[in-house]
Amino acid sequence: MKYLSRFVVIVLALAVLVSCDDGTSSSTPPVEELANHIDAQLAEWGPTYAASDLYTDINANEAPFILSVRAEADYDKAHVAGAVNIPWREVTDQTKLDAANVPTDATVIPYCYTGHTGQVAATILKTMGYDTKNLKFGMMSWYSDAANGGGDGGVAPFDYASDPPNSGTEGIETTVNELPASGTYELPDLELGNGDVTEMARVAADKWLATDTPIIPASGLFEVLNDGDDSNDPMIISVRATAHYEAGHVTGAYNIPWKDIAKIDNLTKLDPTKEYVVYCYTGHTGQVAATVLKMLGYNAKNLKFGMMGWSSNDTYMQGVGVFDAADVINDPSVVEP
């Protein structure tokens, strides 16, 4: 019996050696591991924080940690009371995060100008293990005095919406565009090191943070779509709810809801060699999705202010609240020079 046992052990050992030498690997590729990590982070995340809620917290002496990610000069003009400053391009710098005492055991509220780069920062920090929510609409939801760092960020929408849909080339359609089948494309090949997955997230963000322009204005997208040259057209991804996509979307857009953007089945429908423009309702979840795609090696930009910046027709917002200057806090007691 003991000889039989030894024989079984030898056979198993040889099987392991063969499996290691047949050219296959049992390890998950780094970009796939990072995608799975991000997908889990998005699943239960509410990525924004209303200015009214933050105002209530501050007045109840229960304010979360507030992080201005605007330029230092703009922070110096005025900032949310109690906020510390780390510009958004530097949020992966662990030395600066530690020096500013950014907590890992409490909620962190980044904010920017209009909500976009604040959402970039919040998304990256979320994938790095921080509990974050972005201040919705950024400083423009807090303070309307442009001279002191506020203003409306040019939120007035363009009118690129035909009425009814599909009646022209103005920019809205209801046709459902089908993505390729899952598995059509390989994931991008990224060098992310051998650290844990939160360190991979930092490395992935560092690859583009210093030089990236995270948004494209509605006028810019409309111009490139209507310049008579199809070769420079980006692939457009609506990350709104499927029902809202079907009610009317930017002409030519495909649909992947934002919480599903990092799922492998969806990523393998996307050609890594193409340019992408992502959009949502007001610019926030679109920025989450665009940031995730950038971290995973795709060339993506977010449509500034989302559908709110594309059309003034309330029909296409599907009941989602737009920016309202009447809701701006404008309380001098919660703004510091």
How would you write the pLDDT of the chain (337 residues) with one tens digit per residue? Answer: 444 445 444 444 444 444 444 443 447 899 999 999 999 999 999 999 999 999 999 999 999 999 999 999 999 999 999 999 999 999 999 999 999 999 999 999 999 999 999 999 999 999 999 999 999 999 999 999 877 667 778 787 777 765 555 444 568 899 999 999 999 999 999 999 878 999 999 999 999 999 999 999 999 999 999 889 999 999 999 999 999 999 999 999 999 999 999 999 999 999 999 999 999 999 999 999 999 999 999 999 999 999 999 988 888 888 898 999 999 999 999 999 8
Q: Give the pLDDT confidence score for residue 308 in this predicted structure.
A: 93
Do 187 and 272 contact (CB within 8 A), yes or no? Answer: yes
Q: What are the structural domains of the chain?
A: 39-154 (3.40.250.10), 172-317 (3.40.250.10)
Residue 40's φ and ψ, nearest 5 degrees, are: -65, -35
Coil, helix or strand at residue 152: coil
Coil, strand or helix at 153: coil
Quote the CA–CA distance of 9 and 319 in Å, as a whole number: 65
Q: What is the pLDDT of residue 158?
A: 79
pTM: 0.90
Q: How far apart are CA 62 and CA 60, in angstroms?
A: 5
pLDDT of residue 175: 92
User: Which long-range contacts does 238-246 make (Cβ < 8 Å, 24+ apart)?
Assistant: 238/279, 238/280, 239/278, 239/279, 239/280, 239/285, 239/286, 239/288, 239/289, 240/279, 240/280, 240/281, 240/285, 240/307, 240/318, 241/318, 243/318, 244/281, 244/318, 245/176, 246/174, 246/176
Token pair in block for residue 155:
């939120």
* Count of helices and strands (H, E) across the chain: 12, 15
- How far lies 169's CA from each of 136, 226, 239, 279, in Å? 32, 9, 22, 19
How far apart are the C-alpha atoms of 266 and 141, rounded to whole Å? 34
Q: Give the per-residue pLDDT at 167.
A: 47
Q: Looking at residue 19, what DSSP letter applies?
A: H
Measure the CA angle with vertex 71, ends 65 and 73; round to 5°. Answer: 110
In the chain, how long is the greatest CA-to-CA distance?
A: 88
Q: At what angle do helices 30-43 and 197-209 cross, to 10 degrees?
A: 100
> Which residues are bridge partners to 276 per DSSP?
235, 300
What count of other Cβ atoms lies within 10 Å of the Cβ of residue 255?
Answer: 20
What is the reported pLDDT for 312? 83
Name the burial class of residue 114, with classes exposed (0-12), middle (13-18) and buried (19+) by CB atoms within 10 angstroms of its CB.
Answer: buried
> Collapsing DSSP states into helix, strand and coil, what is residue 80?
strand
What is the reported pLDDT for 24?
39
